[in-house]
Structure formats: structure tokens, C-alpha cells
Amino acid sequence: MTLPRLLVLTDRRQCQRPLVDTVAAAVQGGARGVVLREKDLPLDERLRLAERLRAVLDPVEGLLVLAGAVPGAAAVHLAAADRLPDERPALVGRSCHDVAQVLAASEEGCDYVTVSPVFLTASKPGYGPALGLDGLAGLVRAAPGLPLVALGGIDPHTAAACRAAGAAAVAVMGAVMRAEHPDREVARLIAALDGDCGPVREGDCGPLPGGSRRPVARGDDGGRPGTTKAQVEDLGLAAGSLRSCSGGRI
């Protein structure tokens, strides 16, 4: 299985339309990876919902990941405290929030991890403090060979900066779920990942709730992500001696 550079996480309570329609619009905009959350639903109802989302993703060879240790699922995304399923799925991701969790996920052989919150987020305001680009780059250095997916406050202005900081991909929930036109929001994110939103430089920041700041894109020299490489090189966080996954590694 290949990890798309953009993962869309679901939350039907934030949608302006039925969840399946929201995901279909996101896929129309270019999304090729979806993490089905909705963990409050009964398992049988959730599995029926998964089948409907597969019908949307299969024609574009997209990836559907189920949150939690769902029996028989080919791809799962585990919470930080979840145990690995007894029968290992083909793809295993895990949510992480600090270096200890990232190192543990690498040691247990996860195929990827999400790290959050990179920036403050309206979807989960209780999580923090935000890692920022420096924190993200430090986690990348700590776990070489483990794909890290940046999550939390990701938008078209910050997505390219996260990739430049070393993230293998970015993940978005509220920005797509709440969008009036999810297809347009996804298209803007993909354009940013393609480098069409201009470089993001340290200090080019706009305000976030609570007084934190995040980078804002500027498009004055060709549209390539321009900063964070030096930040990555300057970080002093030593990389641990980690066991790389084999076989199932993305």
C-alpha cells in the first residue's frame, strides 16, 4: 500500500452535507486517502459506512484506513494507547504527540504515524502545545525511515512547509469536513503540496486562536517551498537507533 501525500480524516459532525457526499467531493478534488473515524458508531454501522466510502475510493485506486483496531480491516489507524491487532493488517498507522510515542511506534513496526498538533486546531482545541515546524522536523530526525504525517491546523498555507520540514504527508480533518466545497479545499491543498502556493519562510506568520502564530505562504519567487531545510539541519535532536520496518513498510 502506498501512503498518499494527503490524508483526509472524517468527522461527520462537522460536515455541511452527508459524510459520504463530503468524501466524494474531496475525492473529486484529488484526495486519494481517507481515514474513517466515527468511532462512536456501532461497529456494524461503521463497517457499512466503510463499504460506501470504498465505493467512492475504489474507482480512483484510493486508500481507506479505519481508525481503531477493527477486526479484518486491511488498513488501520491506531490511537496512541491502542494495542496492535493480533492479526497484523497490511497497513498500520498510529497517532503520536511526542518523541517517546514516535519512537515506540517505530520500534513496534508501524508503517506511518500522524504527529499532532503541528499548529493549533479548532477541531481539537484541547490538544497542545503545538509542535510547530521545528518540533515536526525534530520528530522526523528522531525516527529516520518512519513516515511522519503532519496533522493539526494544516491548510494550503502550511502544507508545503510541513513537507519541507520532512513530513512524508499531511492530514486534514476540519478544513475539508467543514468546507462548503470540499473539492476546492482539497485541490488547494494539493496545489500547495505541488509547490504552487509559494515558499513559506520563518517569520511569515499569521495569528491563530490563543495568540500562537503559523506560517503564511508568500508567492514571490517561483512557488517552491523555501524554508525549513535549514531548520532541519540545525536541530540538535539526536536520531535514535531504531529498527526499521520491513515487508509492510510504505
Q: 70: closest CA among 19, 20, 36?
A: 36
Q: What cell was used for 219? A: 508567492
- Which residue's C-alpha cell is 513559506? 200
Lowest-pLDDT range, 12-26, 29-43, 114-128, 136-150?
114-128
pLDDT, mean of residues 165-186: 97
Phi, psi of 19 (to 5 degrees): -55, -45
Query: Is the distance from CB of 163 to CB of 143 less than 8 angstroms?
Result: no
Dist. CA 149–CA 162, nearest whole Å: 9
* Per-residue pLDDT reduced to its tens digit, 140-159: 999 999 999 999 999 998 99
Cα 243 to Cα 5, 43, 113, 142: the distances in Å are 24, 34, 15, 12
- For residue 226, give the amino acid letter: G
Q: 93: closest CA among 78, 72, 74, 71?
A: 78
Q: What cell was used for 128? A: 497542545
Cα 87 to Cα 10, 69, 140, 155: the distances in Å are 25, 10, 28, 36
Cα 32 to Cα 23, 85, 94: the distances in Å are 10, 25, 19
- Which residue's C-alpha cell is 480533518? 173
Band (242; pLDDT cuts 50, 70, 90): very low
Q: 231: closest CA among 184, 187, 156, 165?
A: 165
pTM above 0.85, yes or no: no
Full DSSP string of 114-140: EE--SS--SSSTTS-S--HHHHHHHHH
pLDDT, mean of residues 2-24: 96
For the domain bounded by 6-234, which CATH number is listed? 3.20.20.70
Q: Any residues with CB less than 8 A from the CB of 234 and at least 6 apart, and which? A: none
- Which residue's C-alpha cell is 497517532? 95
* Per-residue pLDDT reduced to its tens digit, 72-119: 999 999 999 999 998 999 999 999 999 999 999 999 999 999 999 999
